[in-house]
A and B are shown apart, each in its own frame.
Chain A
Amino acid sequence: MLEPGAEDLLRRLAPQVLGAVVRRYGHFDTAEDAVQEALLAAAVQWPRDGIPADPRGWLITVASRRLTDLLRSEQARQRREDTVARRVLPELQVAPALDAAGRAAADDTLILLFLCCHPALSPASQIALTLRAVGGLTTAEIARAFLVPEATMTRRISRAKQGIRASGVPFSMPAASERAERLATVLHVLYLIFNEGYASTSGPDLQRAELAAEAIRLARLLHRLQPDDGEVTGLLALMLLTDARRAARSGPYGELVPMADQDRGRWDAAAIAEGVALIIGALPHGPTGPYQLQAAIAAVHDEAPSAKATDWPQIMGLYELLLQISDNPVVALNHAVAVAMVAGPQAGLDLLAGLESDERIAGDHRLHAVRGHLLEAAGDRAAARDCYQAAARRALSLPQQRYLQARAGRLADG
C-alpha cells in the first residue's frame, strides 16, 4: 500500500504526466491508458523500492515506454485487420499561436481539464474522463463512486476518449474567443461531481464524501491555475461552505437532518472560514456569477448561529439576484423558501403556485417537500402530510425517502 503522502503525490502528478506524454507523442486516448498503467506500476514499485528522486520523470518514462508498446500492438492489429487509423486534420492554420511566449507556461493540467470537458461529450462522459485523466482515479474507483458496474464505466470512458479523438481537437488551449464558455463547462462538470458526492441522487448513502472531496481537490487545482477568475473562486467557496455542513447533515442512522435542525457546533469552522475568505475576496472583482452568488448564500447560512437568527432578507435578496441571471427552477424554489422565512409561509406558497406549471420541477420531490414544510408552518397539517408523502414517493435516495416519511408520520394524528 502507498502511504497517503505518496498517493497524493501520484494523484497530483497524474495530469502533469499525461500532459507531457500527450504533448510529446499525441494519442490522447492511448496515452491516457499508458499513464494509468504507469500510476499502477508506481503504486506497486514505490512502496517496495522507495519513491524515485524524480517521480515525475519516472512516471513520464514508464508511461512513454508503455505508450510505445500499446501503439505497436494497436498498429499491428490494425494492419492485420487492414484498418489503418485515419483521421482528418482539423482546419489548418499555420498562423503562429499568438501567445507563443506564454505557451511554455501554459499548464497541461488546465488543457486536460478543457479537453475532458469538451462540449462534444455528454456530461456523464465529461465527468468520468475528468476523474480519470485529471483526478488520477482508476476506472474501478470511479465506477464505485457512481454505483455502476466497472464494465459500464470502462465503456463510458472509452466512448469519451473516442469522442475526443473523433473531434480532432489538438492538445492546446482553446482559442481565447471560446475560453470563457469552455471554462463554464469545466466548472459545471466539477459542480456535478461535487453534487453527486454531496447529494447522492440515488442509492443508500446520503453522501459519498470521497467524490465531494475529489471535486474540492480539483476545484482547488483549478483555482490555483485561474486565481483571478471570480467564478472559479466562487465555485471553490461554494463547495467548501456546503461541505462544511457534511458532518451535521446526517444523523446517527444515516438519516437526513435538515439545516434548521442541524447541530451547528459540528459544522467545519475551518472550511467555513476558508470559504468565507474566498468569497469575500472574489465578490468585489468583476461581474458576479451564479457560483459566487450561491457561495454568498451558503456563507450567510454558515455564519448564522441558528436557522431563526439567519439573515433571511439578505438570502432572499441574493436569490433574487441569482434568479435574474439563471432561469433555474431550483433557484426559484429556494427563493420561495427565503421569502417564506421573511414574509411568512403564505408568501412562499404563493410563489410555489407559479412553479407548478414548470415541468422541469413539477415532478421533483423537492417542490413537494418545500410545499409540505410551508403548509406545516402555516398550520395545514393534513395538506402538509399529503405533500410529504408525495415527495417521499418521488425522492430517489433512501435517506431522503425516510426523512420525508418521518415528517409525514409526525403529522399523522393531526
Chain B
Amino acid sequence: MKYMILLYGSQQDYDALTGKAVPGKPAWGPEDFAAMGAFMAEFSKDVAESGELVETRGLTAPVHARRIRLADGTQVVTDGPYAETQEVLAGYWVVDCESFDRATQIAGRLASCPGPAGAAAGAVIDVRPVAESRDELEL
C-alpha cells in the first residue's frame, strides 16, 4: 500500500536554513545544516534499504513557486504566491509498506531530525494514503 509522507515549511524556514536571521526562528549554522543533511540521507537510505521507498524529493523555496489560475477564461500565472509565514509542501516521500501504522512509524522518525533549538517548533509532517484506484477516491 502506498502512502505519501509530506513535510511542510514556510519561506521563513527556508531563509533560516541559509543562516539568515529570521525573527522568531533560530538561525542554522553550517554544522546544523550538515547534520540535518546527514540525517535526511540516512533516513531515506534506511527506507530504501527496507524496500519501502518508492520516491522522495525535496522542493525548492516557495519563492520560486508559480501558481496558475484561470481568470476570466485566461490562464494567469502568479509568481511566489505564498505569504512569508505560510507553510507549504517542502518535500515528500512515497513509501510502499504493509500498513498505515507502518507508514506512520516511518514518518515519525522525521521528528527526530537534528537542528538548532526551537527549529522544529510548529513543524508538522502529514501521512496520507495514496489512492490505489479511482474507486478509492470515492470513499
Instruction: List residues of chain A with CB under 8 Å of any chain B CB.
Output: 22-26, 61, 64-65, 67-68, 89-90, 92-97, 100, 103-104, 106, 170-172
Contact = CB atoms under 8 A, between A and B. Distances in A.
Given A68-B139, A89-B108, A94 B100 contact: no
Given A64-B139, A100-B50, A26 B102 contact: no
Contact of B99 (A93, A94, A100, A172): A172
Contacts of B109: 92, 94
B98 A96 contact: no
A72 to B, nearest CB: 11
Contact of A170 (B46, B99, B111, B138): B99
Interface string B1-25: 1000000000000000000000000
Contact of A65 (B51, B52, B139): B139
Contact of B101 (A64, A92, A171): A171
Interface string B91-102: 000000011111
A23 B1 contact: yes
Interface in B69-111: 98-102, 104-106, 108-109, 111
Interface in B97-139: 98-102, 104-106, 108-109, 111-112, 129, 135-136, 138-139
A24 B52 contact: no
B49 interface: yes
Given A24-B129, A26-B101, A61-B135, 7 more contacts: A25-B100, A64-B136, A92-B109, A96-B52, A97-B98, A97-B102, A100-B50
B50 A171 contact: no
12 contacts: A22-B100, A23-B98, A25-B129, A61-B139, A65-B139, A68-B139, A97-B102, A170-B101, A170-B104, A171-B99, A171-B100, A172-B98
